[in-house]
Structure 1
Amino acid sequence: MRKALAVPTIALAAAAFPLLTLSPALADDHGGSYQADLAALNGSGVSGTGMVTLDGTTATVMVEATGLLEGAPHAQHFHIAAQGQCPTDADDENGDGFVSVTEGAPYYGAIGSSLTTSGDTSPDSGLAIDRFPTEGTISYERTFEVSQETADSFAAGTAVLVLHGVDENGSGTYDGDVMSDLDPSLPMEATAPAACAPLVSAQMGTAPHGGAETGGGSTAGVEQQAVIGVGALALAGAAAAGVVGYRRRQADQA
C-alpha cells in the first residue's frame, strides 16, 4: 500500500552532521567563484546550474533548476568534507530503486550550509522544509555567511551542491512503497537526492554581488508542507555510516 506524505505542519529537526577534519594547511580566508552543473539522480529529470561567489566566508549563491515536483518542498544544501563527488543511480547498493541519502553520503559528505529562502542557513536548518523552495522551476538567489569549514571545503574542492525530493513514480506527490532511510514513516521520495554536482572553480563569470538576504522562491500556497521528522542523530548516523562504510571498503581493497 502506498503511503502519501500528507502532514500539514512543519517541525523539522537539526541536520548537524559531524564534519570531517580538513587540512590545517588551508588558508583561513578564501575567495573566488564556483559553478555546478546539476545532474539528475533517482530518475528525477532535474537539470540546472549553481553559481557561488565567496568573499572570505560570505557566499552569494544562485541556483537555477527545472524538472522538480511542483508544490513540494525541495531541501537544498552545500555538502562538504568528503570526496567532492556525486553518486550515480548505479550506487543503489540495496537495490530498492533509489540512491538514498545514506548511499550518497560517502561521495558528497555532511551538510555544510542549508540554502534556505530566509532565516538560518546552518546545518541545523538542513530539513527546514518551510524555508526551502517549492516550485517545479527554482530560481534562487541569496547572500549569507558560511562556516569556515564550508569555506575550506570550497577551497579544497570538496564542496557539492545537492537538491532533494523526487517524484520517482510520477504520481504528483511524495508517496510510494519504498520508505525513507532517514525516517521509515516517510516515503523515500521525500528525502532522496534529486540532483547533484560538485562545485568547481568557475572558468568564466561570477555570481553577482548583493543577492537579496531573504532569498528567492515562495512557499505560498504549498499543498505538501510536511513533517519530515528526522532528528540530528538520524541524519548524523546516515552520513557517518556512509563515510565509515566507504572507508572500510577502501581498506579492504588496499
Structure 2
Amino acid sequence: MTHKEVMAKLFDFNATTYYAWKKQNRPIITLLDQYFSKEDIEEFLEFGSIEKFGFLEFIDYTYKEAAFVSILSALANLGHVFHSNIDDYIDYLAYALSYDSGYVQSLETRQEFLAIFIYAYDSYKGYFTIDDLGMAIKQIDLHFPAHNGYADVIAYFIDRDFLPFVKACIMNKPQYINLAIQFCIRFNLYKYKSTCHYEDLYQKFQMPFDNNINFTSALQIVFNQFNYEAFKNEIKAIKQDSL
C-alpha cells in the first residue's frame, strides 16, 4: 500500500480526507508523519501492535543476564534430554502439563517433572496445539518460577512469534544467535503447522560460529552478516502460508 492508502485505512476514510487533514496541519497527522513510518502503521493494522515499541518495554528484561542466558542454555541442552528436535520438546511439555496439571504442581524436583515426558510422548505425537503450549508455560511458571515477570516475557515472545527473542539475542548475547534462530523457526513451523523445511530455512540464516565464540567476535559477525529484516519476513511468510 502507498502511504496515503495506509493512512486512509488507519482512519477509515478516503485519501481526499487524509490530504485535507494534512493541509490543515492537524496534530494527529503531524505526529504520525513525524514518528511513525508507513511500515509501522501497516504492522499495527495487521497485528494490533508495533514490534519496536513493544520491544522497548521488553528490553529491561534482557539486561538480567542470568535469566536470559538460562533460557538460551535450556535451548542448547534440549537435544540431550530426549530428542534432538526442539519441537519434540514442546510436544512433551504440552502433553505433560495438559495431562495432569495437579500432579505436575505436586512434583518436588525438575527431574520428576521431566520424567513425565518419557511416559507420555510416543502415543500422543502430533496431538498438541499452541493453546497447550501457552497453558504449559503458565504451569511451568507456577511450579518453577524463574523470576518476577517471567510469564509476561514468555507471553510476549509467543504473541510475537519469538522474533523479539532473536532481536534480544542479537543485542545482548550474539554468541547464542544460532540457538535463538533455531528455536524461532521451529516454534513457528510448529505453531502454524507449516510444511516448510526447517533445514532450508535455518541454512539461510545460520551464523558461521558455535556457542564458544566470544561476545565481541560474535557481535561483529552478526552485525555484518545477519539480516534480521529478511529473517522476520521469512517468519511472516510461514504464517501467511498457513492462512
TM-score (norm 1): 0.22
Higher RCO (CA-CA < 8 Å; seq separation 6+)? 1
More helix by percentage: 2
